[in-house]
Structure 1
Amino acid sequence: MLRTRGAAAALAGLLLALLPAAGPAWAHNGKLKLEVAGDGAAGVTVQARHADGHQLETLVRLTLTATAADGRAVGPAQLEPAREGHGFYATGPILTPGKWRVTVRAPAPHTSQATAEVQARAAQSAPAQVPAVSAAKRGGAPQTTLSSWWRPVVLGGLAVLAIIAVVWLTVRRRKAREDTGKP
């Protein structure tokens, strides 16, 4: 009888220890909430969350299909996880400029689908680099920029502060020894 109670208590303790770890997995079975948007250029971004709003902790293989207003089609293409964190996905440049109807689907067990209108734009190029003109070509003296003089000033200031701190600690210790009468 005592053995049975001990075994039952051990089993109950084990169940209570494992139950909280299994709880979140049970709570999030089902559909996902998918938010589809353009990335400002020719790509698509998706944020996937559980239907109850909790963050998606596992990798889900989302697929994208897109149809342009003139009939052009893209996909199905698999979305890759983005660096922004769990539940964020991005395509990179996949669309050509124009208006697109984008549909993203999640497979079972999270069978979900979301559709959005996305305006794809051509990526902007970086401004043209203007070559630097030397002081000799300008006919003037070389200019001192902020980046060329601040490092020595900061390093000198730090060195002065370090010297002050060492002197202050030395004087303080010497005074403490004199007050206690120790050599």
Structure 2
Amino acid sequence: MRRTRGAAAVLAGLLLALLPAAGPAWAHDGKLKMEVAGDGAVGVTVQARHADGHQLETMVRLALTATGADGRSVGPVQLEPTGEGHGFYATGPILAPGKWQVTVRAPAPHTSEVTVEVEARAAQSAPAQVTPVSAAKRDTSPQTTLSSWWRPVALGVLAVLAIVVVVWLTVRRREARENTGNP
């Protein structure tokens, strides 16, 4: 009986010690931190991260609206992720030269909103032509990184290991009782 209680206490201690470490992997349902800026021409770029500074691991649907100094408006426009990494978004050329109030919103569960002033300028030279990627070739599956999946897996392995140890101790104790003839 002592060993079973001791094993249960060790299991409980391990789980209590490791659960806070796994918390950040699941704690990204809050607001986003978004840095919005002009792209040096007539577009807008956005870098979005979780409020705690961790990078986005899945795509978030950001929407942009803009109002010019002369009353012109653009949007709402859904931003597409760029190839620069997780959390980077760009509009391409959507603004006319001049000053703009740009607002970027993120939907639930990452409900966030940022408004900044952007000065759009006419491009100095034509941008290089980029061949569009067909929808069939575009990978829209969420990218997972080592840091985002190892903690839940490690917790699962530890839980299974703890269950195996408790069952093994129980069976061993039962066999010992049967061998000694004690009830």
TM-score range for the pair, normalised by the shorter chain length: 0.5 to 0.7
TM-score by length of 2: 0.57
Amino acid at match of 1:12: G
Residues 100-119 of structure 1: per-residue CA shift (max 9 Å, x gap): 21100112222211111112
Q: Which amino acid aligns with 2:71?
A: G
Paired residues for 1:60-79 under 5 Å: 60-79=60-79
CA contact (8 A) 1:63 1:104 kept: yes
Instruction: Give CA-to-partner distance per residue, 1:95-149, whole Å, 9 cap, x none.
Output: 22222211001122222111111122232335xxxxxxxxxxxxxxxxxxxxxxx
Equivalent residue letter for 1:92: G
1:10-49 deviation digits (Å, cap 9, x = unpaired): 34324434441223543x5532222211101111011223
Query: In the alignment, which residue of structure 2 is the partner of 1:117?
Result: 117
**Partner residue of 1:144?**
none
TM-score (norm 1): 0.57
Amino acid across the alignment from 2:17: L
Whether the 8 Å contact between 1:64 and 1:102 is mirrored in structure 2 is yes
Q: How does 1:125-136 map to 2 (within 5 A)?
A: 125=125
**SS at the partner of 2:84?**
coil
Q: Secondary structure at the match of 2:86?
A: coil
Matches of 1:35 and 1:13 in 2, distance apart? 39
Displacement of 1:89 after TM fit? Answer: 1.5
Matched, 1:106 2:93: no
Number of residue pairs the alignment of both structures matches: 124
RMSD value, Cα: 2.4
Quote the residue 1:23 is aligned against. 24
> Any unmatched runs of 5+ in structure 2?
127-183
Separation in 2, partners of 1:30, 1:84 = 24
